[in-house]
Amino acid sequence: MKTIFKKDLAVLVIEDNKIDAKIVRSMLEKTSYGKFHVSFVMTIKEAIELLLTQKFDVCLLDLNLKDSKGLDSLKKINKKYAHLPIVVNTGAYQDSLGLKAVTQGAQDYLIKGKYKPYALSKSLYYAVQRKKAELELQIAYNRLKETQSQLIQAEKLSCVGGVASGVAHEVKNPLATILYGVEYLNMKLDKEDEKTVLTLNSIKDAAKKANEIIKELLDFASISHFHQQAEDVNEIIQHSLNFTKHQCESNNIKVDAELTDKLAQVKVDKNRIEQVIVDVLLNAIYAMPDGGGLTVKTWAETFSASLKSKIGDSANFFKAGDEVVCISIEDTGKGIKKEDLNQIFDPFFTTRRAAGGVGLGLSIAKTIMTSHKGGIMLENVRGKGARATLMFKVKRKG
């Protein structure tokens, strides 16, 4: 009979019964339905060790092993090697166990002695195909979830943005009235009276604060208007560091810039990206009230799976092989609370409400980065503080 299944399969058989192992070997090695390269181990421990060094397409697993019994064996392999399709091969026939095995990630459930070479070959090949489809589905699902969360974020932001300009106009007029009123009273009232001066200054400060909030809100409304051109990321960083130099010095923060020379230019709106970097720097400074260190790095690399995990839900803008320029800003502060990490880019989320934080800085930063099709992510660095990573795609001409 000619070969039905064309692809060679590397099969890991986990079986401690020598006779059963022999049967499987003869079925797979002699069958002409497909071509199998079979390796045998007798315990889960050996299997896990072998999987570290050798790649297998599929695993045939007995449930009654010396170091592991029942579905625990399935869980152990699945936990470490989620991508490996597993077909359970057992002597005990139990419908409920079979269904349970399939629910918990097995591709099929075979009963020893009840199948012939063709059925075994077919089960293994189908397991590989099913697992492949399952993984593709999982990737598509993850992508959909990421897109959904981006859409929700965009919706939140556009909602705030839409309200912003209307509110701004209505609020700025009374603010202007208050400020000019204070100026007039400042001229006319008794400067010797401390309480009068204090009152006027408080009114003035409050009006100015309200104006700052309005200004931040307006940033949302104007976020779509960018003037993008080729820029040197290192220059933008130097400029942003100059901007925050005073705060660093007065907070006893040592700045260490490790900027890679001759980075490819990226097409951005310089002022907006500077706004993003300054905001990230200020957040890092706020996280180190008792002083500390700030490390700013820039580098170029090719986008790959390992970078994907560094850039979170912005990874959709990049594909493997893209040339990217990255910036990381790392502090030695107290880090970000785990429960805050999910909300950190939400509008009006702030951990500094008492100190006057409005909670728009980082959500504006994220919106700016998204509009540039760039990435931004914040994470904790174990035992160190927090790290922000920014990523831009390099677009080469031609």
Partner 1 sequence: MSLKKILIVDDERGFTEMVKLNLEATGYYQVKIENRGTHALSTALKYKPDLILLDVIMPELEGPDVVNQLKRDPDLQDVPVVFLTATVTKEEVDVQGGFIGGHAFIAKPSSLEKLINCVRDHIG
Among 91, 162, 174, 291, binds partner 1 (CB under 8 A): 174
Stretch that binds partner 1, among 59-67, 91-99, 147-155, 178-186 (CB under 8 A): 178-186
**Dist CA 106 CA 282 (whole Å):** 50
Q: Does 160 bind partner 1 (CB under 8 A)?
A: no
**Dist CA 226 CA 74 (whole Å):** 54
Q: Does 348 bind partner 1 (CB under 8 A)?
A: no
> Of 138, 65, 64, 69, nearest to 105 (Cα)?
138
Q: Provide the minimum distance between the beta carbon of 103 and partner 1 in the complex, in angstroms, as a whole number.
A: 59
Q: Does 270 bind partner 1 (CB under 8 A)?
A: no
Q: Does 175 bind partner 1 (CB under 8 A)?
A: yes
Q: SS3 letters for the chain?
A: CCCCCCCEEEEEEECCCHHHHHHHHHHHHHCCCCEEEEEEECCHHHHHHHHHHCCCCEEEECCECCCCECHHHHHHHHHHCCCCCEEEEECCCCHHHHHHHHHCCCCEEEECCCCCHHHHHHHHHHHHHHHHHHHHHHHHHHHHHHHHHHHHHHHHHHHHHHHHHHHHHHHHHHHHHHHHHHHHHHHHCCCCCHHHHHHHHHHHHHHHHHHHHHHHHHHHHCCCCCCCEEECHHHHHHHHHHHHHHHHHHCCEEEEEEECCCCCCEEECHHHHHHHHHHHHHHHHHCCCCCEEEEEEEEEEECCHHHHHHHHHHHHHCCCCCEEEEEEEEECCCCCCHHHHCCCCCCCCCCCCCCCCCCCHHHHHHHHHHHCCCEEEEEEECCCEEEEEEEEECCCCC
Q: Which is nearer to partner 1, 218 or 394 (CB)?
A: 218
Among positions 88-107, residues that touch partner 1 (CB under 8 A) are none
Q: Give how far Cα 53 sits from Cα of 50, 56, 340, Å.
A: 6, 10, 39
Q: Provide the minimum distance between the beta carbon of 365 and partner 1 in the complex, in angstroms, as a whole number.
A: 18
Stretch that binds partner 1, among 183-191, 282-290, 300-308, 352-360 (CB under 8 A): 183-191
Among 10, 179, 203, 255, binds partner 1 (CB under 8 A): 179
Q: Which is nearer to partner 1, 10 or 179 (CB)?
A: 179
Q: Provide the minimum distance between the beta carbon of 218 and partner 1 in the complex, in angstroms, as a whole number.
A: 6
Among 50, 218, 358, 394, binds partner 1 (CB under 8 A): 218
Among 183, 205, 256, 258, binds partner 1 (CB under 8 A): 183
Among 70, 117, 181, 293, binds partner 1 (CB under 8 A): 181
Q: Which is nearer to partner 1, 138 or 177 (CB)?
A: 177
The helix-helix angle for 270-286 and 233-250 (nearest 10°) equals 30
Q: Which is nearer to partner 1, 97 or 175 (CB)?
A: 175
Among 14, 88, 160, 207, binds partner 1 (CB under 8 A): 207
Q: Provide the minimum distance between the beta carbon of 372 and partner 1 in the complex, in angstroms, as a whole number.
A: 20
Q: Does 184 bind partner 1 (CB under 8 A)?
A: yes
Among 169, 245, 319, 395, binds partner 1 (CB under 8 A): 169
Q: Does 172 bind partner 1 (CB under 8 A)?
A: yes
Stretch that binds partner 1, among 15-23, 210-218, 313-321, 350-358 (CB under 8 A): 210-218
**Dist CA 133 CA 21 (whole Å):** 29
Q: Provide the minimum distance between the beta carbon of 219 and partner 1 in the complex, in angstroms, as a whole number.
A: 9
Stretch that binds partner 1, among 109-117, 173-181, 356-364, 366-374 (CB under 8 A): 173-181
Q: Which is nearer to partner 1, 201 or 309 (CB)?
A: 201
Q: Which is nearer to partner 1, 172 or 384 (CB)?
A: 172
Among 104, 177, 224, 302, binds partner 1 (CB under 8 A): 177
Among 9, 74, 87, 168, binds partner 1 (CB under 8 A): 168
Computed from CA positions of residues 28, 30, 32, 36, in that sequence, does the dihedral angle turn out positive or negative?
positive
| Residue numbers at the binding site for partner 1 (CB under 8 A) | 165, 168-169, 172-181, 183-184, 187-188, 207, 211, 215, 218
